[in-house]
Chains A and B, each alone.
Chain A
């Protein structure tokens, strides 16, 4: 495997009216745990069900109902922790976060404030070949999602849908190691990729299955380094938290806006007020949601309905033994085993099923050629039609067959593209389709020689020019290929033309 070493990127610098400023960003990602049942009840988690159809007595907090932990969700959190090279806490505990809201039936969210299940870990966020930020993870805890309040169905009434109530979330909390909007988006993308590889969260941001709270502050150059040395936050600026964003684009826009807002305040001699803000994508600005003074007093305390969650190292080891290959390892292996470039390896490993597709095509074949075909032809065609790899009409076995026909010299690259197009629209076995369509490249040197002789004989002026300037031999090659209906093997034609012209 290749040992990939990285250099840290430069932080994003924003020039204010008076000074330069740097950004310091920490993120809390809420990732919905992929699980058929909720965190503390057996109710289904299916998205898009009829309102209030996936609701148990526990979810809607009927009197006397009690939570029982879903072991699968715990396993998913452990798997996620292992995937982020994090410490797994064999003893963790659940706490109640108390506040009133109609979509929170219990009047509290069960979460893990004091003793999270996963401790410190890390995520390597690559920004360019050889450039990556190592973002430290502070913790991951399990908690319940809330329901959905609906205010726009009736002028006087509000409605509430509890389908989402009690669905398991992992809150993944980073350290303030992210230094710019692009890094923030890249961090979310990398985390999403890892979660999808692990199968612990589907990463569907549109459905809200992956959402981000972003803490943004600004500081003068040099301050962050002081923080790093001491871990003392007083070297950093006052932060604002932008809540609940579910788009990479909005995350970047919100951070950029928020940083500039804070810089403007500071350069005016003002103070940034610690508060929770919301991003309005229509206006492209953040606005205050509640100040620190208005912040809820959540009155956290250990949930007396649940005993401390104790798991065994042996169980963690079993999960560790069943871990899939993760993106960084896969990328390094693709580069080492298939000789693909750093860039191509990133593209090929972005999604697990695409990586699997590539490997099926590349295995036992020319890896670089496989990469070119998968990225340029296949992905290009999929993108053009808005399809995902799961929908591809040309399966890996078929594309492999096309590459085999090229490798054996039976078809040319040009023919291969035509063949790919036929397979895309009509399907079929590549070798059979090629044969049926007479797509066979002529490698019979006798036939090629004849064609070359004829063209040389018919074009004496061109012959003279080519002899003077060998670059013009390409004209003869083209003529020969044209004369053979595109079936002549270009390599063979090249060689024979050169020979006959005496080049």
Chain B
């Protein structure tokens, strides 16, 4: 086994025992990254930084070293990293190197982590297939025949890199499912924490009221370790919650006896593939076998979630992306004789933003415009409140966690959706957007393979701020599923 194939937990133990050095571990990852070029997961490798950090980690080893001392990670391109290209996979931020470090990456570095580089993603995190990236598609290490598959999106590079063992774990962000869907498509674990658990400061904003960063890992335990390092109150983010961060790893007791697991009937979608239905049923059984009580619940406003999401997220995005205007940083269009400021805006943004980003900026601008605000944005806000109330009521009735499929299908082929209605792509988020709208924690756990041999995941949704309980449920599900498959290396 190569060192880059280790989990964080195993690597941590090997590093602590001196069986492995952070430099060797980092070198193994850098080698894997070089070999993994066909996956197009890493878009800016930072080997010098990584080795410097690894050497420092080796020097620090022992008592007092942080929870992630010497652990090599990949960082989604959406995170601003000081002096390192941070482009949100967009041409409009071409060459942008921030002079500041995001709160999350700062905390990871404080905990001793090693940054291997920046990871591919959908442009501005808008997409479910990593096909909107200015760097080109990231590719799923899982394959059927010779078809290249999507790793999902928007955190597609993160998912591909972790699944292909290019790094031990990665950061992702999730606005409507961007951690959980790619995790499910690549057979890894991904958790979106409660809104406010992880600081958004220094993460390029997509939809501020929905965005939340989280870990993408090879195991639930790793997710607990990494989330512990990422989470915590940040006075620089007004929406970050000032509540203590528990020891998530210590919460992995494996004991969920007597816990109540809700099965929402509205998630049984029309035309849902039998394989997904069967997977969901298996998940129910596994949790029941572990001593949990399975109850049917109703989340009646679920069907309105996707439309509400695709009003709120573009509305916020249209405003958040207004700052990319060519005036201060990033791309500025070459102007013609007589061009004025409006020409500069229009040309810069037409050249800098890809089609999907432009589409969402236009949708967002439309739904906020005079005369349409109440019909779209305000109505979507009301729907959002109802969706949250559905969950509140379920939890008030004693439900500890909710089990749903993570995605409506396994990974699809790159380019397969190119001519499809954009809404068909948006349907990928059908099981995940409710969680963002309600601000809840949600985790995707790999549970099995479909008939094509591709991974499938289940989603567990937890009470607000109960990531500890959620991770423990996920840990039980992971153990029961015994998912150990890895993609066959073809790259």
Contacts and interface: CB of A to CB of B under 8 A. Distances in A.
A299 B102 contact: no
B80 A64 contact: yes
Contacts of A62: 80, 98, 100, 329
B370 A106 contact: no
Given A100-B345, A304-B209, A57 B100 contact: yes
A304 B238 contact: no
A297 B100 CA distance: 34
A102 interface: yes
Nearest to B93: A63
B236 A301 contact: no
A413 to B, nearest CB: 64
Given A98-B322, A107-B323, A305 B328 contact: no
A67 B238 contact: yes
Contacts of B319: 96, 98, 107-108, 299, 301
B316 interface: yes
Given A98-B322, A105-B323, A307-B238, A299 B96 contact: no
Contacts of B329: 62
A160 interface: yes
Given A100-B325, A301-B368, A306-B238, A66 B377 contact: no
Contacts of A306: 238-239
B201 A106 contact: no
A64 B327 contact: no
A4 interface: no
Nearest to A102: B327
B365 A65 contact: no
A69 interface: yes
B15 interface: no
Nearest to A97: B319
User: Which interface class (under 10, 10 to 19, 20 to 34, 35 or more) fits B?
Assistant: 35 or more
B314 to A, nearest CB: 12
B88 A63 contact: yes
A101 B345 CA distance: 9
B232 to A, nearest CB: 15
Contacts of B205: 63-64, 305
A38 to B, nearest CB: 14
A142 to B, nearest CB: 14
B328 A66 contact: no
A68 interface: yes
Contacts of B100: 57, 62
B102 A69 contact: no
A189 interface: no
Nearest to A68: B238
A66 B201 contact: yes
Contacts of B342: 100
A66 B202 CA distance: 8
A266 interface: no
Given A301-B377, A304-B209, A304-B316, A63 B200 contact: no
A311 interface: no
Interface in B61-85: 79-80
A278 interface: no
A437 to B, nearest CB: 65
A61 interface: yes
A57 to B, nearest CB: 6
A100 B201 contact: no
Nearest to A301: B368
A14 interface: no
B384 to A, nearest CB: 12
Interface string A158-196: 101000000000000000000000000000000000000
Contacts of B239: 304-307
B446 to A, nearest CB: 31
A326 interface: no
Contacts of A69: 238
Given A57-B100, A301-B315, A65 B327 contact: no
Contacts of A102: 325, 327, 341
Contacts of A301: 315-316, 319, 368, 373, 377
Interface in A298-334: 299-301, 304-307
Interface string A276-311: 000000000000000000000101110011110000
A98 B238 contact: no
A299 B365 contact: yes
A300 B321 CA distance: 15
A300 B319 CA distance: 10
A103 to B, nearest CB: 9
Given A98-B322, A107-B319, A107-B322, A64 B377 contact: no
A60 interface: yes
A299 B202 CA distance: 25
Given A64-B205, A102-B341, A108 B238 contact: no
Nearest to A61: B323
B298 interface: no
Contacts of B316: 301, 304
Contact of A63 (B86, B235, B236, B377): B86
Interface in A84-123: 96, 98, 100-102, 105-108
B122 to A, nearest CB: 16
Interface string B232-268: 0001111100000000000000000000000000000
B236 to A, nearest CB: 6
A307 B335 CA distance: 40
B237 A66 contact: yes
Contacts of A66: 200-201, 236-238
B31 interface: no
Contacts of B203: 64
Contacts of B315: 301
A349 B369 CA distance: 48
Q: Which of A57, A105, A107, A299 has the most CB of B within 10 A?
A: A299
A299 B368 CA distance: 5
A57 B99 contact: yes
Given A60-B328, A62-B100, A299-B368, A106 B238 contact: no
Contacts of B365: 299
B323 A63 contact: yes
B209 A64 contact: no
Contacts of A61: 323, 328
Interface in B275-310: none
A110 to B, nearest CB: 11
Nearest to B196: A307
A53 to B, nearest CB: 15
B204 interface: yes
Nearest to B79: A64
A295 to B, nearest CB: 9
A60 B328 CA distance: 8
A297 B345 contact: no
A56 to B, nearest CB: 10
Nearest to A99: B322
Contacts of A305: 205, 208, 238-239
B197 to A, nearest CB: 15
B105 to A, nearest CB: 11
Given A100-B345, A102-B327, 13 more contacts: A61-B323, A64-B102, A64-B205, A66-B200, A68-B235, A68-B236, A96-B319, A101-B341, A106-B323, A158-B341, A301-B373, A304-B316, A307-B239
Interface of A: 57, 60-69, 96, 98, 100-102, 105-108, 158, 160, 297, 299-301, 304-307
30 contacts: A57-B100, A61-B323, A61-B328, A62-B98, A62-B100, A63-B80, A63-B86, A63-B98, A63-B205, A63-B323, A64-B205, A65-B201, A66-B201, A66-B236, A68-B237, A98-B319, A100-B325, A101-B341, A102-B325, A102-B327, A102-B341, A105-B323, A108-B319, A108-B322, A299-B369, A300-B373, A301-B377, A304-B208, A304-B209, A306-B238
Interface of B: 79-80, 86, 88, 93, 96, 98-100, 102, 200-205, 207-209, 235-239, 315-316, 318-319, 321-323, 325, 327-329, 341-342, 345, 365, 368-370, 373, 377
Instruction: Please give me the 6 A-B residue pairs with the lowest Cβ-Cβ distance, nearest first.
Output: A107-B322, A304-B208, A304-B209, A299-B368, A61-B323, A64-B202
